[in-house]
Amino acid sequence: GWARHASGTSVSFPRMRQPSALSRYSASSACFGVSSSGSSAASASSAADAVAFANEQHGPVEVLINSVGWTFERLFLDKPREEWEREVNINLWGPINLYQAVLPTMLERKKGALVSLSSDAARMGEYKEGVYAAAKAGVIALNKTLSREYGKFNIRCNSINPSTADT
């Protein structure tokens, strides 16, 4: 989903499950969704369409928060290739596609912020999550690289690496 902060800053929350969590920003925050069953950031065209829609409806996206993550815990050799591909598509290609879609406008405006939730598994490895950890490590490397490439244009790129939590 996407929202506009009370200050006028456009904020995106791809595939957010509970848009009501935005209420702490502003009682008038507008939200619209990119549903997990419909559009997927793992598809370059879907990510581009979602960003274009956000830009049309709410103005240029200034902050992108990529909070997507998916894994199914299995030992590496027990996991079918289709699950590996899904983990890479969602956890690495999703951020790549969203970044590619929002960066041109951020460059034009000479400001923006890209934030992705990665994982402590990317730093430490995680039992039964080898491909997930590798994809999330890719997100960290991507953010470090984009920071070097686009920081001079006032575009910040950061990763947040939460640890395992009971949810």
Active site residues: 132
d(CA 95, CA 77): 26
The neighbour count for residue 51, using CB atoms within 10 Å, is 27
Listing DSSP states for 21-71 in one string gives GGGGT-TT--EE---TTS--TTSHHHHHHHHHHHHHHHS-EEEEEE-----
CA distances from 143 to 54, 66, 136, 149, 157 (A): 22, 12, 11, 10, 5
Helix axes of 81-88 and 130-150: crossing angle, nearest 10 degrees: 20
